[in-house]
A = this chain, B = another copy of it.
Amino acid sequence: MKKIAVDAMGGDYAPKAIVEGVNQALATFSDIEIQLYGDESKIRQYLTRTDRVSIVHTDEKINSDDEPAKAIRQKKQSSMVLAARAVKEGRADAILSAGNTGALLAAGLFVVGRIKGIDRPGLLSTLPTIDGNGFDMLDLGANAENSANHLHQYAILGAFYAENVRGITKPRVGLLNNGTEDSKGDPLRKETYALLAADANLNFVGNVEARELLNGVADVIVADGFTGNAVLKTIEGTALSIMGQLKSAIENGGWKAKIGYLFLKDALRSMKKTLDYSDAGGAVLFGLNAPVVKAHGSSDAKSIFNTIQQIRTMLDSQVVQKSVEKFSIKED
């Protein structure tokens, strides 16, 4: 039985969306057990399942505007910290939260703890590509600064994730850089390039430019946390802006545009679906002793369900244990 600790109080639609996602997941997967952390009476309102689910009541919760490290230190009875402690103490195998990202990163680092040999766990998400296969990118901003050694670890971790969780054989690993030629980039990129090219266990396909990311040129993209964060937010911002433009073009385009929209609706919906990356689950703080997964703040029940499915696959494939073994060998 896979035990998942769920912070029921984090996210814009908590606890409703969280609990409804949990209901669906319990109905679909018979090999999971859910621990819900949060306000018992509010959780009960939405909980329709009784088997393989328990509630750990607490009044305290971390808010989205709390200062992360401080919140983890001071709100020791918060739903998020209690869920992280359950993982730390072996009462749960993984944690899911849609709450304060910084606080979850801090809880992951300071409560759940790093894999021995991993210097800086990185934030990983599966992002959409035009061909529908997606790619895994890390670090998306767990760190503001990274060394070439960190980036090498991200390449290994990313390849592990793509292989074990997404079932990709010999995942192609690319380095995000400002040009495709071997010699491109700043000293950090040049040093990282040399490390990745020398690692025979990686299927390194070289430098990848940001322009090509959505075209499926690699299964794993390695970036420092600052650039990865900027690129992720640029993809989100540009996609939202264009979809917004499209909407206002339709709204301001008179009757012709409105008729056109009626006919195009299905096509637009299928397009939105390809671009929607909540299907692939949440963002994983990867490099910790257990899956620590952040669902989007605006997650609905379906996103929570997807994220539980993702965690189940991570536990099933033992991707974290395999990483622990890999890095303990490296340490010797």
Contact with B along A181-211 (1 / 0, CB 8 A): 0001111010000000000000000000111
**A145 interface hit (Cβ, 8 Å):** yes
**A168 interface hit (Cβ, 8 Å):** no
* Chain B residues positioned under 8 Å from A317 (CB to CB): none
Asked if B178 and A141 make an inter-chain contact with CB atoms under 8 angstroms apart, the answer reads: yes
Contact with B along A164-179 (1 / 0, CB 8 A): 0000000000001010
| Copies of this chain assembled into the complex | 2
Asked if B186 and A213 make an inter-chain contact with CB atoms under 8 angstroms apart, the answer reads: no
Q: A130-B244, A230-B210, A234-B231 are in contact. Are A266 and B262 (CB under 8 A)?
A: no
* Chain B residues positioned under 8 Å from A268 (CB to CB): 246, 249
| A228-275 at interface with B (beta carbon < 8 Å) | 229-246, 249-250, 252-253, 256-257, 259-268, 270-271, 274-275
* Chain B residues positioned under 8 Å from A277 (CB to CB): none
Min CB gap A101→B, angstroms: 10
Q: Could you say which of A225, A252, A264, A268 has the most chain B C-beta atoms within 10 Å of its C-beta?
A: A264
**A13 interface hit (Cβ, 8 Å):** no
* Chain B residues positioned under 8 Å from A64 (CB to CB): none
Name the interface size band of chain A. Answer: 35 or more
Asked if A275 and B235 make an inter-chain contact with CB atoms under 8 angstroms apart, the answer reads: no
* Chain B residues positioned under 8 Å from A229 (CB to CB): 178, 210
Complex CA–CA separation, A268 to B242 (angstroms):
11
Q: Could you say which of A237, A243, A262 has the most chain B C-beta atoms within 10 Å of its C-beta?
A: A237
Asked if B239 and A145 make an inter-chain contact with CB atoms under 8 angstroms apart, the answer reads: no
* Chain B residues positioned under 8 Å from A147 (CB to CB): none
Which residues of A are in contact with B by a Cβ distance under 8 Å?
130, 141, 144-145, 176, 178, 184-187, 189, 209-215, 225-227, 229-246, 249-250, 252-253, 256-257, 259-268, 270-271, 274-275
- Give 25 CB contacts A-B under 8 Å: A141-B178, A144-B185, A145-B186, A178-B229, A178-B230, A210-B233, A211-B233, A211-B236, A211-B237, A213-B237, A215-B237, A227-B227, A230-B230, A230-B231, A234-B234, A238-B242, A249-B270, A253-B270, A256-B264, A256-B267, A257-B264, A257-B267, A259-B263, A260-B263, A260-B267
Q: 8 new A-B pairs (CB below 8 Å) besides A144-B186, A186-B226, A210-B229?
A: A178-B226, A242-B243, A242-B271, A249-B267, A249-B268, A257-B263, A260-B262, A260-B263
